[in-house]
Amino acid sequence: MAEVALILVVVFVLLLFMNTPIAVAIGLATFAAVLLEGSDPTVVVAANMANGVNSFALLAIPFFILSGHLMGKGGMARRLIDFAGALVGFFPGGLAYVNTLTCMLFGSISGSAAAAVSSVGGFMIPEMNRKGYNREFNVAVTTTAATTGLLIPPSNVMIVYSVAAGSVSIAAMFMAGVIPGIIVGLFIMLVCVGLALRNKYPCEDRSSLREILIAFKRAFLSLSLIVVVIGGILAGVFTATEAAAIAVVYAFLLTVVIYREIKLKALPDLMLQTGITTAVIMLLIGASSGMSWIMTMANIPQTVSAVLLGLSENPVMILLTINILLLIVGTFMDMTPAILIFTPIFLPVAVSLGMNEVHFGIMMITNLCIGLCTPPVGTCLFIGCGVGETTIAKVTTTMLPFFGAMIVALMVITYIPATSLWLPVQTGQLKKSEVEKNTFMKWHLVPDREKEGDALKPKEIHD
């Protein structure tokens, strides 16, 4: 099967270098590998593509995409900006924190980093330019902060990971992403503090309690969507998939009926955009399902697992290696195909280290979020530069401290499992007994009387 693995990798990489659309590259590489393996690719690839998209959980994706489009066009971003400004605008460089906090709030409502960049950045970047902030700094803040919306629920990529992993609860993933999303946002704000003080960026007037309450009242209905979606899931009123449909109804009533920011005649265009985006994602999922099948047949996950586990016995170093590989992957591959391709490869390694599947999923998503901000295929970076009317070359240097902050946040999330697992356990999405079976990062140095020196031994876990 070594020849099958080789042809799969070679064809896929060659097609990527030829700028072939990634779904097509995955499908053609799979076709070639299945042909070499001896099966009929016209049957095997088609069957696996059909099975890959035949999942009830995937129905949530078009609904969340449509609700994101409605929110992006429906005036919700402006109300969130006003609320964030009332809360944190008075700090030095206050608009940078307003930008970050708004991206976190809007991303958590829409579940789309791209929508956050275009909607929030469309107002905040020109406003920050007008107040004397550096243009490249403004784009860097918006681009990096927007990725927090992929961690704070709801999030389409969490649904994709749950499907790729096989048996991971979407609701557990949603709850697991809340604290990591906040951690990334806070680290980005720390960079803003340093740059704001160094460059002496201005601060806004301090808002009175009355002004804060007024801003909160205007943003209340927008913020309530988070409560409706997540609260309904936690209460068992509806599933994560049904919650996506509820989000569409809520967003429609809010933006079309109450705010009246979207006209009925604009709905067909929004639905067309939703259909196009959904079709791309489903094609990726279907093609990646075929690739996962042939990778399993060629024992690629087992081989990679053996190689990584053979490099070191230290789980810290192995996960550091996986993170480095994913950071490299994220620079030239979009998040959805990266999750679909590399989850079956790296997840078995993580599980063998005693890592919980939910924790690994959050680590992987956090890692790939960095790739959305890096050239050459950083989606958020391209959108941010377009909105900010600047170039990638100029922005990249300014983004370096933000990259550093996101990598530090990634390390915290990777090596402190409680950042991802504490909240799902508290809300009942994960059982405490199941989490306690995971031994990753429950090791400490204890004296071994039978051997010289210290040895790594598992620490006892108590309730």
Residue 446 has pLDDT above 60, yes or no: no
Picking from 45-49, 222-226, 425-429, which range would have the lowest pLDDT averaged per residue?
222-226
The whole-angstrom distance between residue 238's C-alpha and the CA centroid of its chain comes to 23
Q: Does residue 112 lie in a domain region?
A: yes
- DSSP reduced 3-state for 205: coil
- DSSP reduced 3-state for 458: strand
pLDDT of residue 456: 40
Burial 78-99, CB ≥16 within 10 A → b, else e: bbbbbbbbbbbbebebbbbbbb
Q: Does residue 448 lie in a domain region?
A: no
Which pairs from 86-90 meet CB under 8 Å and 24+ separation?
Answer: 86/207, 86/211, 86/212, 86/214, 86/215, 86/216, 87/207, 87/212, 89/203, 89/204, 89/205, 89/207, 90/203, 90/204, 90/205, 90/206, 90/207
pLDDT of residue 440: 77
Over residues 351-367, the pLDDT tens digits come to 988 899 999 999 999 99
pLDDT of residue 442: 63
Q: Are 149 and 107 in contact (CB under 8 A)?
A: yes
Over residues 13-27, the pLDDT tens digits come to 899 888 888 889 999
Q: Does residue 462 lie in a domain region?
A: no
Q: Does residue 272 lie in a domain region?
A: yes
Q: Report the percentage of the chain scoring pLDDT > 90.
A: 30
pLDDT of residue 441: 67
pLDDT band at 453 (very low <50, low <70, confident <90, very high): very low
Q: Does residue 439 lie in a domain region?
A: no
Over residues 172-231, the pLDDT tens digits come to 999 999 999 999 999 999 999 999 888 888 887 888 889 889 999 988 988 888 888 888
Q: Does residue 200 lie in a domain region?
A: yes
When divided into structural domains, the chain yields a total of: 1
pLDDT of residue 459: 42
Q: Does residue 449 lie in a domain region?
A: no
Vertex 149: Cα angle to 76 and 437 (nearest 5): 140
pLDDT band at 443 (very low <50, low <70, confident <90, very high): very low
On average, the pLDDT of the chain sits at: 85
How many CB atoms are located within 10 Å of the residue 363 CB? 26
User: Which of residues 422 and 297 earns the better pLDDT score?
Assistant: 422
Q: Does residue 461 lie in a domain region?
A: no
Domain that residue 79 falls in: 2-432
